[in-house]
């Protein structure tokens, strides 16, 4: 399983805990990542402002991957949806493909989705690595840990680009991944709802209120932690949890872990290797509750 690792803008600068845990866990599960020079912004932040630039930025990265004959693996859900969308569009629409390629790499031909796939890391773990393989590698039991999965929006939506993978209205892949490491997935109201991250820069009040609703629902459902798979969502629930608590006079103290961090714990890595020291809401207590390494 060899993938071009597409980190996007946020992860290398603001979510190194995600990157650390991702690389560590991948290494023991047989996923090989190739870092490609030239991968930058996927285009997501520009989509609402200038469609053509968004298209070219995404296409540029897809072309790089195709030149390396590698599928792309994204840990960020926004990058996943943008690259999947453009990959699909450019393979289906010949005229658009020709005009885009003409601008970026004149004289060459690329096949996009007919040649390379774009996959979120959670989907890679679920489909390519598989639940059984994960189970077979466990070095520590997370039994007794109740974890609320936060799917976020772009991992499964818009569903039309993902070819029927999982059900965005009633998703299960992350639940099953949590189960695979012997933790207990917790169901809660609004499980398929948004984190509010995309409006943070425009209207902090709305954004934090959306995230607060979710924290409240997770807390009420009795979860010990939230597990997520997107750096934007982590900004909302981890980085901003303190601000939300102050603003809404609440105390949540809910540890927020990337799924790869939880997985890393189950695979026997220690906290530092997984960047848990970088999580804003402290995770020490939670880790202390886990069983010993086998």
Partner 1 sequence: MKEKIKILVVDDEEVVCRSVNRILSKEGYRVDEALRPEVALEKMKGAGYDLVFTDWKMPGIDGMELIARIKEIRPETDIVMITGYSSIESAVKAMSLGAFNYIPKPFTPNELSNITARAIERRRLLREERSKAEKTYVIFEYVMPDDLYYLPEHAWVRVGEGKEVAEIGIDDVYQKTIGRITKIDLPEPGGLVTQGNPYAEIHASGERIYQSFSPISGMVAEVNQELKRDAGLVNKDPYGKGWIARVNPSSLEEDLKNLLHGDAVIKWWLKREIIERRQENYVNVVALDPKFKFEIAAEPGGEKIRSCFACGTCTAICPVREIDDEYNPRKIIRMALLGMREEVLASNFIWLCASCYSCEEYCPQGVKFTEVINAIKNIAVREGHIPPSFITQLELIRTHGRLYPIDDFDNKKRKKEGLPPIRMEAGGAERTYELSGLKKMMTKTVRPSP
Binding interface with partner 1 (CB under 8 A) = 7-10, 12-14, 16, 19-20, 23, 35, 37-38, 40-41, 45-53, 55-57, 60, 103-104, 153-154, 157-159, 168-169, 192-194, 196-199, 201-203, 205-207, 209-210, 213, 275
Q: Which is nearer to partner 1, 168 or 268 (CB)?
A: 168
Angle 155-286-171 from CA coordinates, rounded to 5°? 25
Distance of CA 115 to the CA centre of its chain: 23
DSSP state of 75: S
Name the minimum Å distance from CB 60 to partner 1: 7
Q: Whose Cβ is closer to partner 1: residue 52's or residue 285's?
A: 52
C-alpha–C-alpha distance, residues 120 and 2, integer Å: 14
Q: CB of 240: closest distance to partner 1 in angstroms?
A: 15
Please, what is the minimum distance in Å from the beta carbon of residue 268 to partner 1? 17
Say if residue 258 is exposed, middle or buried (CB neighbours under 10 Å; 0-12, 13-18, 19+): buried
Name every residue whose Cβ is closer than 8 Å to that of residue 167 and which is 6 or more positions away in sequence: 156
Minimum CB distance to partner 1 smaller for 181 or for 208: 208
E-strand spans in the chain?
2-5, 32-34, 71-74, 118-120, 146-150, 184-185, 225-228, 256-258
Q: Based on CB atoms, which residue is closest to partner 1, 181 or 232?
A: 232
Q: Are 266 and 140 in contact (CB under 8 A)?
A: yes
- DSSP label at residue 112: G
At its nearest, how many Å lie between partner 1 and the CB of residue 78?
8
Q: Which is nearer to partner 1, 96 or 131 (CB)?
A: 96
| Cβ at position 107, least distance to partner 1 in Å | 15
Q: Cα–Cα distances in Å, from 145 out to 8, 28, 252?
A: 31, 23, 17
Minimum CB distance to partner 1, residue 8 (Å):
8
| Smaller CB separation from partner 1, 207 or 234 | 207
């Amino acid at each position: 399983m060899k993938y071009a690792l597409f980190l996007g803008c946020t992860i290398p600068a603001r979510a190194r805990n995600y990157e650390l845990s991702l690389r560590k866990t991948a290494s023991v599960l047989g996923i090989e990542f190739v870092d490609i020079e030239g991968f930058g912004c996927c285009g997501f932040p520009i989509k609402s402002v200038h469609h053509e630039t968004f298209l070219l930025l995404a296409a540029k990265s897809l072309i790089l991957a195709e030149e390396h004959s590698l599928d792309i693996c994204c840990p960020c859900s926004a990058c996943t949806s943008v690259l999947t969308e453009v990959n699909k569009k450019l393979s289906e629409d010949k005229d658009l493909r020709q005009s885009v390629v003409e601008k970026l790499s004149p004289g060459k031909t690329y096949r996009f989705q007919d040649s390379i796939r774009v996959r979120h890391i959670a989907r890679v773990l679920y489909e390519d690595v598989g639940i059984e393989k994960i189970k077979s590698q466990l070095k520590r039991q997370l039994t007794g840990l109740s974890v609320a999965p936060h799917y976020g929006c772009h991992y499964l939506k818009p569903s039309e680009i993902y070819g029927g993978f999982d059900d965005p209205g009633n998703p299960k892949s992350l639940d099953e991944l949590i189960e695979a490491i012997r933790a207990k997935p917790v169901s809660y109201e609004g499980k398929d709802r948004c984190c509010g991250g995309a409006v943070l820069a425009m209207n902090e009040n709305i954004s934090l209120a959306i995230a607060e609703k979710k924290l409240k629902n997770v807390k009420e459902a009795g979860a010990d932690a939230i597990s997520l798979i997107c750096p934007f969502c982590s900004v909302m629930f981890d980085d901003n949890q303190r601000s939300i608590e102050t603003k809404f006079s609440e105390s949540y103290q809910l540890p927020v872990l990337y799924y790869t961090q939880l997985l890393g714990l189950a695979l026997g890595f220690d906290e530092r290797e997984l960047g848990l020291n970088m999580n804003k809401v402290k995770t020490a207590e939670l880790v202390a509750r886990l069983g010993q390494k086998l």
